[in-house]
């Protein structure tokens, strides 16, 4: 609807053809020797260590769920456990180059991504800062539990214990877990390491992560965002809405020059070839390869690519290259990272929908074994060193499990405390006091402000009713409140259905167009799920979002996001 863009019949009716870019499939051709020279032996051994850490964590949960015991520790876990056994290389390769400023969002199957991103952050944060993070988090409740059991090690060793325990205590619903035990397996997060909330709704993180990327773009923050979602989520409308939102043409054509370009987000589809029991490419979806879908979103085909997620170095390479794309403003990006889960959809799933031979064929190329063999071949991880690493990790896992299952050491949050966490009970004028809000006009020069100043705010003058156009209306109050907040909080953005130029269906936004640059007030697609979901992600990053669904009738299309 912008008046600056003219839709010309001569151009739009012209004949021609569209061509789509080629989509690379498993094109990585590097070698362990190449990456050894680039990153060094310690880093490559660290990749194996993190993969084994995830494997042991998931094996522990599987044994707890199916047998009620792990390494002699008995526990009856009532909650869910959607495991990612077999997918470790994809998670660790993705996290390898990411910094704490890079934020990842996950799905219901994201224990591996949490641990991989956390372990990567621990390696990159200096010891003094790490110590402060652990001491400050939850008032030190999580740290105190592991400190009593850890002595003589380094700060990074302590931090790995902290990561393992905090994640597991959260899954087991303990007050010292990363989110006081209220998030559990499918909603765990730890923002100091750049691990943002996972989501139990299929594809739910797609639009939430898009809102996170919007925050980074609008507020000029460092880092990229990755939405880790499954291949079956491509069948969900909000996933498509999010990808379209992230690549809106206005980012390239209407926003201020300094903010031109798509959102800095990678939609990473962890393609393990199954939803629950439905096989995606072979049964329930229309595509033959998921990466093909990028061609339907924008002229760049979202720089779509299929990556071998069974080779962690291929994933490292892909993330490195895609970061360069995002830093040029050419996002969003679609990655199809192929992987495979050895376990069922959940511990109760007997995998009756797939052949034993299929599972065994993937197990025969298990990335833990194949990557360890490559490290041994180039002389950086012999059998003795590997055994020592395994023993060290398993000892840490046993300790975390013992601490997280002990109700005396790790009690649950008292029920009366839950209500205290529902509302902040505070007032915040601005979520960023370090900068001034970006505006196009001073307050008194806004034409609607000037018009309202001439209106009488009473419905009666001298005992006579005034005409409707002189009454101060409800929408006028909404306008004034919104403008006031825009002038005080630089993080505030407003977007939704037809609220720039037109001013929204009820004219609440009329007059804001004159005062606000495009990146603070813009029209969105008619994508109710994406509108609300992106607002959630924007707020999770620490900003204010005022979003518009044109009529209450439209709320049903954002049901998951609202509820």
**What does the pLDDT look like over 293-310, one tens digit per residue?**
999 999 999 999 999 999
Residue 152's pLDDT is: 73
Instruction: Summarize pLDDT for 403-417 with one digit per residue, the tens.
Output: 999 999 999 999 888
Instruction: Summarize pLDDT for 449-481 with one digit per residue, the tens.
Output: 999 988 755 555 566 666 656 678 899 999 999
Residue 468's pLDDT is: 58
Report yes or no: 207 and 537 within 8 Å, Cβ to Cβ.
Answer: yes
Report yes or no: 56 and 394 within 8 Å, Cβ to Cβ.
Answer: yes
Residue 112's pLDDT is: 96
Give the whole-angstrom CA distance, residue 399 versus residue 153: 15
Report yes or no: 62 and 81 within 8 Å, Cβ to Cβ.
Answer: yes
Residue 315's pLDDT is: 98
Residue 424's pLDDT is: 80
Residue 422's pLDDT is: 82
Max Cα–Cα distance, the chain, nearest Å: 96
Residue 419's pLDDT is: 84
- Helix 312-327 × helix 41-67 angle, to 10°: 110
Collect the ranges in the chain with pLDDT lower than 50.
1
Residue 457's pLDDT is: 52
Give the whole-angstrom CA distance, residue 187 versus residue 198: 5
Give the whole-angstrom CA distance, residue 47 versus residue 66: 29
The order of strands in the sheet holding 103-105 is 103-105, 225-230, 265-271, 333-338, 305-308
- Say what the pTM is: 0.95
In b/e form, how buried is each residue of 40-65, taking b as 16+ CB within 10 angstroms? eeeebbbbbbbbbbbbbbbbbbbbbb
Tally Cβ neighbours within 10 Å of residue 29.
8
Residue 6's pLDDT is: 87
Helix (H, G, I), strand (E, B) or coil at 462: coil
**How far separated are the first and last CA of the chain, in Å rounded?**
31
> In this structure, are strands 69-70 and 73-74 parallel, antiparallel, or unpaired?
antiparallel
Alpha helices in 281-433 (DSSP H): 312-327, 356-363, 367-377, 383-405, 415-418
């Amino acid at each position: 609807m912008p008046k600056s863009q003219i839709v010309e019949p001569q151009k739009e009716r012209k004949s021609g053809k569209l061509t789509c870019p080629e989509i690379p499939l498993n094109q990585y051709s590097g070698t362990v020797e190449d990456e050894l020279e680039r990153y060094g032996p310690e880093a490559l051994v660290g990749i194996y260590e993190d993969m084994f850490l995830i494997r042991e964590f998931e094996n522990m949960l599987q044994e707890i769920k199916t047998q009620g015991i792990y390494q002699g520790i008995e526990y009856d876990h009532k909650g869910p456990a959607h495991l990612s056994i077999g997918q470790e290389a994809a998670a660790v390769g993705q996290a390898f180059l990411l910094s704490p400023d890079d934020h990842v969002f996950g799905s219901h199957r994201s224990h591996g991504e949490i641990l991989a991103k956390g372990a990567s952050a621990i390696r990159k944060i200096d010891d003094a800062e790490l110590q402060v993070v652990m001491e400050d988090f939850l008032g030190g409740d999580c740290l105190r539990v592991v400190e009593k059991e850890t002595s003589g090690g380094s700060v990074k060793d302590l931090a790995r214990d902290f990561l393992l325990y905090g994640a597991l205590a959260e899954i087991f619903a303990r007050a010292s877990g990363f989110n006081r035990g209220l998030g559990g397996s499918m909603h765990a997060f730890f923002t100091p390491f750049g691990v943002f909330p996972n989501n139990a709704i299929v594809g739910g993180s797609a639009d939430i992560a898009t809102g996170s990327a919007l925050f980074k773009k609008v507020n000029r923050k460092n880092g990229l965002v990755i939405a880790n979602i499954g291949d079956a989520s491509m069948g969900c409308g909000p996933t498509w809405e999010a990808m379209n939102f992230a690549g809106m043409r206005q980012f390239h054509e209407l926003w201020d020059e300094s903010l031109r370009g798509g959102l800095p987000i990678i939609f990473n589809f962890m393609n393990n070839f199954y939803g629950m029991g439905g096989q995606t490419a072979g049964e329930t979806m229309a595509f033959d390869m998921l990466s093909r879908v990028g061609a339907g979103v924008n002229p760049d085909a979202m720089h779509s690519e299929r990556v071998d997620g069974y080779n962690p170095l291929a994933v490292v390479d892909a993330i490195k290259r895609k970061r360069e794309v995002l830093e040029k403003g050419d996002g969003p990006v679609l990655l199809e990272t192929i992987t495979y889960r050895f376990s069922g959809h959940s511990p109760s799933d007997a995998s009756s929908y797939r052949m034993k031979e299929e599972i065994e064929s993937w197990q025969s190329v298990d990335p833990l074994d194949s990557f360890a063999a490559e490290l041994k071949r180039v002389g950086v991880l012999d059998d003795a060193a590997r055994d020592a690493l395994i023993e060290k990790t398993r000892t840490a896992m046993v300790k975390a499990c013992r601490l997280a299952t002990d109700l005396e050491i790790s009690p649950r949050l008292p029920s009366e405390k839950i209500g205290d966490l529902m509302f902040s009970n505070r007032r915040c004028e601005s979520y960023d006091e370090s900068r001034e809000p970006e505006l196009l006009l001073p307050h008194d020069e806004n034409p609607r402000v000037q018009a309202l100043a001439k209106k009488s705010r009473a419905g009666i003058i001298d005992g006579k009713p005034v005409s409707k156009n002189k009454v101060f209306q409800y929408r006028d109050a909404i306008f004034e409140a919104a403008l006031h907040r825009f002038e005080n909080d630089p993080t505030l953005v407003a977007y939704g259905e037809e609220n720039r130029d037109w001013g929204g269906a009820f004219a609440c936004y009329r007059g804001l167009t004159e005062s606000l640059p495009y990146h603070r007030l813009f029209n969105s697609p008619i994508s109710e799920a994406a509108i609300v979901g992106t607002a959630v992600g924007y707020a999770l990053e620490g900003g204010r979002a005022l979003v518009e669904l044109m009529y209450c009738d439209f709320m049903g299309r954002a049901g998951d996001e609202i509820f």
